[in-house]
Amino acid sequence: MNVLNIRNVTKTFGDFAAVDNMSLSVREGEIFGFLGANGAGKSTTIHMVSSLLKATKGEIEVLGKNIAKHPRFAKSNIGIVPQDLAIYEQLTAYENVQFFAGLYGLRGSLLKERTEEALEFVGLGDKAKSFPKSFSGGMKRRLNIACAIAHRPKLIIMDEPTVGIDPHSRNYILQSVLKLNEMGCTIIYTSHYMEEVEEICTRIAIVDHGKIIAEGTKEQLKSIVTDTKEIWIGVRSESNISVEKLKNVPGVVSVRIEDGQIKLQSKAEVNNLNEVIQQLIQDNADIRSVEEQAPNLESVFLTLTGRNLRD
């Protein structure tokens, strides 16, 4: 069964089409990755699914019901974890979760039980009476999640829930997402971190200029990329390396330098490794390692959209 169906949906703001005739489906029990650069149309899509915006054209169904006709039903079955923290600093962690869960009609002992359950789930059970101002960034992110799950939604939309937090909290959140999924929740997950999407998502859609340009499992997406290869070259000194000169090497598509590694994308049919290394030697880079990477989502994204996800 599909938890979400988006059929030929368009959303325009004046003359600009933020979402352009988009169609996609999310099946029950999936962790669905929704990838796109800033301005690609993912937030607009998420806002339409959450009934925050109305589609200009097309229809959206949540659990088989059209959200335009049954907005309360759709809203009751969706939990949204916004990209920016959406909590009240003057309320305790418990009061925050209790308030948002209360908006979904929970009352009395059930509200209390679900509030405590949600806080326990995100590891803030012992911080129930604390105010968010005393929380770390990771704890606030976890509270942000607790506020979205206390009413036990069938579909949870997580919009970059790990932005700006420490690795420990990020790991905790990723494990929580997997646990929620095991508990029967369907999850739509957007992130700028490809490794997160690769790690947890069962199916992925890549959106660009308001359209879905690729959709499938990780393996299916990676199989799209057959015409590019990625080469990682480890160097001791990166200060003298000229990115522009490397980009001028025939076949090289893109170059980026991260943590002492030069990450090159190159056309698969061009054998240019010798020229790349020669250029690096000229730039006095002390080469430590050279390895060709198997295609990953980053390279898939780059190939399909012509830009990095974080651009």
Q: By CB under 8 A, is residue 50 in contact with other proteins?
A: yes
Contact at 8 Å (CB) between 243 and 257? yes
- The whole-angstrom separation of Cα 171 and Cα 175 is 6
- The whole-angstrom separation of Cα 273 and Cα 279 is 10
Q: Shortest approach of other proteins to residue 72 CB, angstroms?
A: 4
Q: Shortest approach of other proteins to residue 101 CB, angstroms?
A: 10
Smaller CB separation from other proteins, 69 or 307: 69
> Residues 132 to 171: which contact other proteins by CB under 8 A?
147-148
Q: Shortest approach of other proteins to residue 76 CB, angstroms?
A: 5
- Return the closest-CA partner of residue 152 out of 182, 193, 183: 183
Q: Shortest approach of other proteins to residue 60 CB, angstroms?
A: 14
C-alpha 302: how far from chain center: 16
Q: By CB under 8 A, is residue 229 in contact with other proteins?
A: no
Using CB under 8 A as the criterion, what x/- string covers residues 171-210 for binding other proteins? ----------------------------------------
SS3 (DSSP) at 12? strand
| Contacting residue, 7, 68, 104, 257, with other proteins by CB under 8 A | 104
How many chain residues interact with other proteins (CB under 8 A)? 32
**Residues paired with residue 31 on neighbouring β-strands, in sequence order:** 187
Strand-strand pairing, 228-235 and 211-216: unpaired
**Helix 167-182 / helix 137-149 crossing angle, nearest 10 deg:** 20
Smaller CB separation from other proteins, 144 or 299: 144
Select from 27-35, 52-60, 216-224, 294-302 the region that touches other proteins (CB under 8 A). Answer: 52-60
- Residue with token string 């962690």: 93
Using CB under 8 A as the criterion, what x/- string covers residues 57-96 for binding other proteins? --------------xxx-xx-x-x-x-xxxxxxxx---x-
Query: Which residues lie below 8 Å from residue 101, measured CB to CB, with a gap of 6+?
Result: 111, 114, 115, 118, 147, 150, 151
Smaller CB separation from other proteins, 100 or 121: 100
- The whole-angstrom separation of Cα 155 and Cα 188 is 8
Residues that bind other proteins (CB under 8 A): 47, 50-54, 71-73, 75-76, 78, 80, 82, 84-91, 95, 99-100, 102-105, 107, 147-148
